[in-house]
Amino acid sequence: MNKEITQKIKARFIKSKTDLKKNFKNFYDWVKGAELIELTECETSKDPVRPELDNEFRTSYGRKIFGVKFQDEIHAVMCFAFTNKIPKTVNELDLLSKDAFLQSANRDQNVGKIAIAYTVWSNKKGGGKLIVKEVFKMIKKSNHLNRLVTLSPLTEMARTFHLRNGAVEVQVNEETQNFEYKL
């Protein structure tokens, strides 16, 4: 009887080890094959951080939406505003991105020096971390952006996510918190 139980346990262990390897390979394949693309719109209702902001807000005045695409499906989304100062509220983000946009119209068309990520979400495990990594690379290559800062909600989940992904806390505001990814 003990031998039977031992064999069943070994069989389960081998199966779970095989399943783990398969899941890891599937995860690695999707991450390896994903690409960062600019979107003209996103499903704002899926945004767990700021669903109240419509696509017009997300794409006007030097604001952009980026997605991680794999096999014709968007697995993660990040929205940005380009500013010259760090905002403390969504209203301030709106005003600062409009100001940077208008300043750039009279100069070199490069909107703002700071990329402010104000929302990020993922539909697939690993998507959030992947989009942060890909956006980070894109901003590093930019000739006018010199900072990547977040306008995050005052939640422990946001704090943990950004700190775990290499950001440092810049400030805690009344309604939000800011983290910076060093370029």
Q: Are 78 and 119 in contact (CB under 8 A)?
A: yes
**Residue ranges per structural domain of the chain:** 1-33, 35-181
φ and ψ at 111, to 5 degrees?
A: -85, 115
pLDDT of residue 83: 94
pLDDT of residue 86: 97
Q: Is the pLDDT of residue 30 over 90?
A: no
How confident is residue 20, by pLDDT bands cut at 50, 70 and 90?
very low
Count of H-run helices and E-run strands, the chain? 5, 8
**Between 27 and 75, where is the model more confident?**
75
Q: Is the pLDDT of residue 111 over 80?
A: no
Q: Is the pLDDT of residue 46 over 70?
A: yes
| 46 membership: H or E segment, kind and range | none
How confident is residue 29, by pLDDT bands cut at 50, 70 and 90?
low
User: Strand 63-70 to strand 73-83: parallel, antiparallel, or no bridges (unpaired)?
Assistant: antiparallel
pLDDT of residue 15: 59
User: Strand 114-122 to strand 147-150: parallel, antiparallel, or no bridges (unpaired)?
Assistant: parallel
Q: In Å, what is the CA distance from 134 to each residue of 71, 76, 109? A: 17, 11, 23
pLDDT of residue 27: 45
Q: Is the pLDDT of residue 67 over 70?
A: yes
Average pLDDT for residues 29-42, to the nearest whole number? 82
| 21 membership: H or E segment, kind and range | helix 2-33
Question: What class does CATH assign to 35-181?
Answer: alpha beta
Residue-wise pLDDT for 135-168, tens only, equals 888 888 887 788 999 999 999 999 998 999 899 9
